[in-house]
Chains A and B, each alone.
Chain A
Amino acid sequence: MKKEVVAMLLAGGQGSRLYALTSNVAKPAVPFGGKYRIIDFPLSNCVNSGIDTVGVLTQYRPLELNGYLGNGQPWDLDRSDGGVHILPPYQREGEQGTWYKGTANAIYQNIGFLDLYQPEYVVVLSGDHIYKMDYSEMVSYHKKAGAACTISVLEVTMEEAKRFGILNVDDGDQVYEFEEKPPQPKSNLASMGIYVFTWSKLRKYLIDDEADPNSSNDFGKNIIPNMLNAGEKLMAYRFHGYWKDVGTIESLWDANMDMLARNSGLDMYDESWPIYARTPIKPPHITGPDASISHSLVTGGCQVDGIVANSVLFNSVTVEKGADIQYSILMPGATVKAGAKVYYSIVAENATVQAEAVVGSAPDGGENWGIAVVAGGVTVGEKAVVSPKAMIREDVKGGEQA
């Protein structure tokens, strides 16, 4: 049962900045890039890195995520020893169960799970990033340095650095200071929220942190500063390549658009590092006599007879004749009827845009412009108009403006 490396994937976040897209599902279960869900990226990275034991910590709206993960078979994580484990908070004898209070507390509550595997190293991942990364290289780097904790970092601009957790390092990339969103950053190394810990060390810090009533039980706010203060060796691991936090509507839309660009740095056609997904059973997509598709992704089960440009279509999307889709993301089962226009929008699962309706608009340079979102299952009525940046959670009647 002993495993050298176990990964713990923090998937309990609500993702409140994705608004209507996460009213029914946890953020890691949000569809991404035509065929995937966000969680497919860290999960596939684990498997491709040779990590076969992954705990997925869930708490917010877990049903869809649980169903999606199932026994882990699409990621080759259906193992007789190890594999994927869904870890919700649970009650223990003699004490009241509590929700996961913070990222560190979530791992703390699962010390028992980790002890089952007695790992040397624990990789802590979050479920809201899009990237391809070989964690085994990071673990070797951590081992070689003899560190207690290694944090993966990305070089950003000094301006961007103000929005991230920033690591200040010496010449050997050893961390001497961690600053959360510094107004005057001293370095441009941003934490990517990917940690490798030596488990014996982390275990001790988690227990100490839990005993501190003033702690918010968070890796960035508590565990990392505590380790630094105690003089532990923390290393920064420099990552080069595509990485995107998709925690907001804009960044989610952006990252989907990146999937269209051949030079974004994220190559989905690279067979040496595949991203796996649980794929519904659908026939190939069909293009009709009046279809016009350019610079777009189209997936199984789609029926396209309208105009689709610069857009990402998930499985089973219908675009009728005369409909016009530009710079938009249509999630599984979305339907856009004849003559409707969808510009710069995200139309979520099984939503319907009726004939001649207009959703969103091209950027006009104004401050009120933004990506329009139609939530899952919602219907936008005939000739209705949905303004840019709108967040549509309920049906819009025909002819109305929302």
Chain B
Amino acid sequence: MNDLHGILFAYRSDANLGELTRPRNTCSLPFGGRYRLIDFMLSNCVNAGITDVGVVVHQSYQSLLDHLGSGKDWDLSRKHGGLRILPPFSYTELGHGEYRGSMEALAGVYDYLEDIRQDYVLLAWGDIAINLPVAEVFEQHLSSGADITMVCTPTLKGAPRFSEYVEISEEGRITDLSIHPTAADKALESLEVYILSKRLLMDMVDYCSAHDVTNFSRGVLQPRMKSLKMMPYVHRGYVGRFQSVGDYYQRSMDLLDPSIRADLFNPARPIRTKDQSNPSTYYGPDAKSTRSLVADGCFIEGEVENSILARGVIVEKGAKVTDSVLMQGTVVKAGASLSYVIADKDVTVNEGRMLMGHATYPLAIAKGSVV
């Protein structure tokens, strides 16, 4: 399926994620032991046969660049097309700071959009953990004759004040879209993943930049609800959204559920990530590891229970890690004890320290901290 082009938005860094998004934007948040959030949507594109993907970035994208590289780990290092990182380049007149909305972001990469070789475009955020059968979404888009297909989930995931909800007519057409309501009273939540034709997208971008409309949902979808045929694609699989530290913790713990893992890491549509050539994980003679997800390259001599350990984590003798999420390079020294903790990359917890959060309020430790 080479008639679909992927555009992933990777410029928002959610303030509610606190320490976790200070050094990076939400798309490059480490998740599931060895992934970054963008791996999911990027792999979804690749698994649907998409060969060209543009990633729209604006600021603090250093870690994203490091991670994506030339795109070879996603088979997107190509002679023609492949992966393109899109920092703002024709974005000169409209002041500074973050993009005010996705239409402004698209206007910022206008030249790139003009050169898209495919007739259809997938627009999506790169910060959702989902194994989405994009090929099926595209098929439905073509067969339904929709102008815009919106991917929705029947199981509400986001906090209402950050989410969008759709209402469906009897014929299955989207008739209303509520944006950031106080309560979620509609049945379907929009994942803000869309398929539309390149021509329609270019029309919209032209219109929006001429009228200083920056927001896709408010500026395009709502006013054109009647004139354009918008159809939902209902995704019944797992969806992980990350709008707060609590979300991040809960979504991480979700991965200990075998049915969620089976859905998200479906071997028929594997989630790809940067290869780091780590050796296997070593468990020492007194190690203990139960109900945990452990990436390669860890060195575990202490106890690990109900936790997620990323690549290269060290848990020394007598240390105890329960109900925690430890990102790459975390070192838990001898006798230290962690529970309900989120340790960002390269955190060191010294000998005998006791750190404790709570299931509803996990303790997040900033990248590189020494406790």
Does B295 belong to the interface (CB within 8 Å)?
yes
Complex contact B294–A294 (CB within 8 A): no
Complex contact A35–B272 (CB within 8 A): no
Interface residues of A in 287-340 (CB under 8 A from B): 287-300, 308, 312-313
Complex contact A284–B33 (CB within 8 A): yes
CA distance A22 to B34 in the complex (A): 33
Question: Could you tell me how many residues of chain B have their Cβ less than 8 Å away from some Cβ of chain A?
Answer: 39
Among A8-16, A200-208, A271-279, A346-354, the one that faces the other chain is: A271-279
Complex contact A297–B290 (CB within 8 A): no
Chain B residues, Cβ within 8 Å of A286 = 256, 258, 261, 292-294
Say how far B345's CB is from chain A's closest CB, in angstroms: 16
Complex contact B296–A284 (CB within 8 A): yes
Chain B residues, Cβ within 8 Å of A282 = 270
CA distance A237 to B279 in the complex (A): 29
Chain A residue, CB-CB nearest to B279: A268
Which residue from A73, A274, A288, A299 sits with its C-beta under 8 Å from B280?
Answer: A299
- How big is the A interface, by class? 35 or more
Chain B residues, Cβ within 8 Å of A308 = 283
Interface residues of A in 23-40 (CB under 8 A from B): 33-35
Complex contact B280–A33 (CB within 8 A): yes
Chain B residues, Cβ within 8 Å of A34 = 279-280
Chain A residues, Cβ within 8 Å of B291 = 287-289
CA distance A299 to B258 in the complex (A): 18
Complex contact B286–A294 (CB within 8 A): yes
CA distance A28 to B320 in the complex (A): 40
Which label, helix, strand, loop or mixed, suits the secondary structure of the B interface? loop
Interface residues of B in 265-290 (CB under 8 A from A): 265, 270-273, 275, 277-290
Interface residues of B in 53-98 (CB under 8 A from A): 72
Say how far A119's CB is from chain B's closest CB, in angstroms: 28
Complex contact B289–A287 (CB within 8 A): yes
Which residue from A33, A275, A289, A298 sits with its C-beta under 8 Å from B281?
Answer: A298
Does A230 belong to the interface (CB within 8 Å)?
no
Chain A residue, CB-CB nearest to B295: A284
Say how far A145's CB is from chain B's closest CB, in angstroms: 35
Say how far A143's CB is from chain B's closest CB, in angstroms: 31
Does B32 belong to the interface (CB within 8 Å)?
yes
Chain B residues, Cβ within 8 Å of A35 = 278-280, 296
Interface string of B160-196 (1 = CB under 8 A from A): 0000000000000000000000000000000000000
CA distance A290 to B288 in the complex (A): 10
With known contacts A276-B277, A287-B290, A299-B296, A293–B34 Cβ distance under 8 A: no
Complex contact B290–A73 (CB within 8 A): no
Complex contact B32–A281 (CB within 8 A): no
Complex contact B279–A291 (CB within 8 A): no
Chain B residues, Cβ within 8 Å of A279 = 275, 277
Complex contact B265–A291 (CB within 8 A): no
Does B216 belong to the interface (CB within 8 Å)?
no
CA distance A290 to B270 in the complex (A): 27
Say how far B257's CB is from chain A's closest CB, in angstroms: 11
With known contacts A283-B265, A297-B280, A300-B296, A291–B290 Cβ distance under 8 A: yes
Chain A residues with a Cβ under 8 A of chain B: 33-35, 73-74, 260, 268-269, 274-277, 279, 281-300, 308, 312-313
Chain B residues with a Cβ under 8 A of chain A: 32-34, 72, 256, 258, 261, 265, 270-273, 275, 277-297, 299, 304, 308-310
